[in-house]
A and B are shown apart, each in its own frame.
Chain A
């Protein structure tokens, strides 16, 4: 036991995507000794796959934009279930976070007057997304990565050691958060993939920035790391999750060939003029404009097409409705037998823009379809369909400090919950990462200044024992097979459209899978050294076996919350409860763990502050809120 390396830090950030890197930068700027735990190599996190852009009301493309408009759009997109305080902070601070990236070397596309260009996206009233072609996430992560290197260079100049105050632990996975006798976070336990060695981080403050849960689903745009690690670590440490029933199915994933099914096709295709058509060649989105958005979207193709050049005098094309609406519409078209040959619908940009414009604005889409599907998007339409993309639910946090309910635990980015309500708008994720990454880094740094901790041996022993289980079993199931079944179950029974009987079936199936997850076995590679202080070196089967626990817990949360919420809203569509209910709007479903079992409770949301409420017209509020919640003076 004593052989296991113990490393002391003030702040440990788990996750090296946009939120994690931004949190780490902030903690280091506050003078804290900070560790970044990256499940992959430094700079490879899922953030690189974000394409469209980062939403920030800078007003560069349309001077009428401001934080209030962005706030309103975000609340509407989330169907008013958002934590209004998070949505407020996000809308107010996003521009500064984008400008800061530019000062760190980011090169966004420009407007004619040399400012950062902004593009249209679903649910955003004005062109708002700062972007670099269709590879904005890569720019964001590379810029943060390079800022970290810049800080390390400062430390090298000062201390002769790049890692003196900010160190990246690449290819390192945390399997447990550690707590002391007082119930506070005191560190984290994990393994280093390259060597299999166990490692203990001793730290008063831990920031979770582990991203999402997409790998619990079969068809997903998410990469292998998205196994719900932070969600599960938080639950296991005693924190709670909210809104887990809300899973965003991005309307446009690739559907063919089978091996790339689910890979994302950016919303920018539609933002730049792309339209959705069914097998009859019809632009079907006009048939799917919901009541709450009726007055904001065009009802004819002519008006929709005029909007691109004259947005002030025309309404938006319905292809740019929030993602939940578009995903459901595609699903309905396919079910009605009007789908494309491979079970999607057609996304056509070829007839809308010149080939050179397409290649300029959507280079990676052009490349992706050419290389992976033999489709030239400048000449023919793409086939697309919904893919599991994002989880709105996550760790319940204090909006201002990103602190979870367990002392010393913080969360930011996709792993945190509340900001996006029941549905996230495209472009709001990258800005979310930056705004709340920074706040989590600040919150953690402040907390760490006043706290010292040490890790009890028993905590480490328990974590080691758990990590060793899969290769200590002589017989057991193949983790890959169990994973595939879990993904199929979630896809079939807890997917985009849900029903009570299917959700009950899912919960039963998950119960059986839980036993099987507890019984997976992997054999260490021939000749591998496995000792008290290390597991097998770079053994993907073992890694998956450990990740399965997390996917399992998270899947149960999603299924149970989805069964409980008897309404349809955003990323939660119930076939048997198709309407949105104002009574349900006030309710957050909170998941926690008791003796390893997921518990669910209803929790009333705090009413929106008056000044924020007054940003909306009464008629609009009436569509979402109960009578009692409407502004007092206008009730009659």
Chain B
């Protein structure tokens, strides 16, 4: 049942590194993370890898396996041929700390810029929402913050210079989540465009494709968000109405 697999794993730190070859045992039912752990326990005790739950729930073990952004714990070895070399490299969009571990602080910085949920004057215990209304944002709250979508997005994947002005699919989806939250009273449409770079997204759906939670990021979060931004900024009737004073636009929430 078991066999010896050929693995190539990126080893190194922020300075430099290289792909190292390993031959390692694989048993029935194992995933890539099991094999990485076996390497650690045997020939590479210092092999740096981030992981927690090993059940696809925490989003820690993101990496690129044969060039595809994946969770190591959810990539079964049975998806590879036994004679195939499995190459594991760190996420490319974020700076390497060591081996398979990257510095994902970009994501936490972007998260802090988005104005938090604001339930207005409703007291705890008095919120009333219908299931059908909470489901839209619930889909986005399935996100396990593996950051594979941000890693994949071409806007920043090879364009360091865009990072400052672009929050990536993960956090544009967070904006959408708050905008679609039935109890939230803020308006983040303006900053979605101006500060978080929604306009950079040209809906290639790469983020949706790599999402291990199968969240329809592009169709359900980003495109509707673009439409909402249009509704606020470019609708000619609204523009005219506000110019002549028949439409009063609500206040736009500034970035946090």
Binding site for B on A (CB under 8 A): 40-46, 48-49, 95-96, 99-100, 102-105, 107-110, 113-115, 117, 132-133, 135, 138-139, 142, 146-147, 149-150, 152-153, 156-157, 162, 170, 194, 223-225, 256-260, 263-264, 364, 367-368, 371-373, 478-481, 484, 522-525, 527-528, 536-542
B112–A152 CB distance below 8 A: yes
Question: Of B52, B116, B124, B138, which contacts A153 at CB under 8 A?
Answer: B116
For B59, give the chain A residue with the smallest CB separation: A44
> Which residues in A have their C-beta under 8 angstroms from that of B128?
113-115
> Which residues in A have their C-beta under 8 angstroms from that of B112?
149, 152-153, 156, 162
In the bound assembly, the distance between CA atoms of A139 and B122 in angstroms comes to 20
B74 interfacial by beta-carbon distance below 8 Å: yes
Give, as a whole number of angstroms, the nearest-CB distance from B10 to chain A. Answer: 14
B60–A263 CB distance below 8 A: no
In the bound assembly, the distance between CA atoms of A538 and B47 in angstroms comes to 9
Chain B, 136-171, CB within 8 A of any chain A CB? 137-138, 141-142, 144-145
9 CB contacts below 8 A, A to B, read A41-B104, A43-B145, A135-B142, A147-B116, A153-B116, A364-B56, A478-B45, A523-B45, A539-B46
Chain B, 63-107, CB within 8 A of any chain A CB? 74, 76, 97-99, 101, 103-104
B129–A114 CB distance below 8 A: yes
Question: Of B30, B45, B51, B74, which contacts A541 at CB under 8 A?
Answer: B45
B141–A481 CB distance below 8 A: no
> Which residues in B have their C-beta under 8 angstroms from that of A100?
124
> Which residues in B have their C-beta under 8 angstroms from that of A223?
52-54, 58
Decide yes or no: A260 and B29 within 8 Å by CB, A107-B137, A107-B138 being known contacts: yes
In the bound assembly, the distance between CA atoms of A484 and B42 in angstroms comes to 12
Question: Of B29, B56, B98, B181, which contacts A105 at CB under 8 A?
Answer: B181
B34 interfacial by beta-carbon distance below 8 Å: yes
B131 interfacial by beta-carbon distance below 8 Å: yes
Q: Report which residue of A45, A105, A523 has the largest number of chain B beta carbons within 10 angstroms of its beta carbon.
A: A105
Decide yes or no: A102 and B124 within 8 Å by CB, A44-B52, A135-B57, A540-B49 being known contacts: yes
A479–B141 CB distance below 8 A: no
In the bound assembly, the distance between CA atoms of A525 and B12 in angstroms comes to 10
A480–B40 CB distance below 8 A: yes
Binding site for A on B (CB under 8 A): 13, 27-31, 34, 40-42, 45-60, 74, 76, 97-99, 101, 103-104, 108, 111-112, 115-117, 119, 122-125, 127-131, 134, 137-138, 141-142, 144-145, 178, 181, 184, 214, 256
B53–A48 CB distance below 8 A: yes
A258–B28 CB distance below 8 A: yes
> Which residues in A have their C-beta under 8 angstroms from that of B42?
480
B48–A372 CB distance below 8 A: no
B13–A110 CB distance below 8 A: no
A46–B74 CB distance below 8 A: no
In the bound assembly, the distance between CA atoms of A149 and B108 in angstroms comes to 9
Give, as a whole number of angstroms, the nearest-CB distance from A99 to chain B. Answer: 4
In the bound assembly, the distance between CA atoms of A142 and B131 in angstroms comes to 20
Give, as a whole number of angstroms, the nearest-CB distance from B41 to chain A. Answer: 4
Question: Of B104, B115, B130, B145, which contacts A110 at CB under 8 A?
Answer: B130
Give, as a whole number of angstroms, the nearest-CB distance from B236 to chain A. Answer: 34
Decide yes or no: A49 and B40 within 8 Å by CB, A113-B128, A523-B46 being known contacts: no
Decide yes or no: A540 and B46 within 8 Å by CB, A49-B57, A223-B58 being known contacts: yes
> Which residues in A have their C-beta under 8 angstroms from that of B60?
40-41, 44
Question: Of B13, B40, B55, which contacts A540 at CB under 8 A?
Answer: B40
A110–B50 CB distance below 8 A: no
Give, as a whole number of angstroms, the nearest-CB distance from A468 to chain B. Answer: 16
Give, as a whole number of angstroms, the nearest-CB distance from A290 to chain B. Answer: 31
In the bound assembly, the distance between CA atoms of A153 and B115 in angstroms comes to 8
B58–A48 CB distance below 8 A: yes
Give, as a whole number of angstroms, the nearest-CB distance from A41 to chain B. Answer: 7
> Which residues in B have their C-beta under 8 angstroms from that of A256?
29
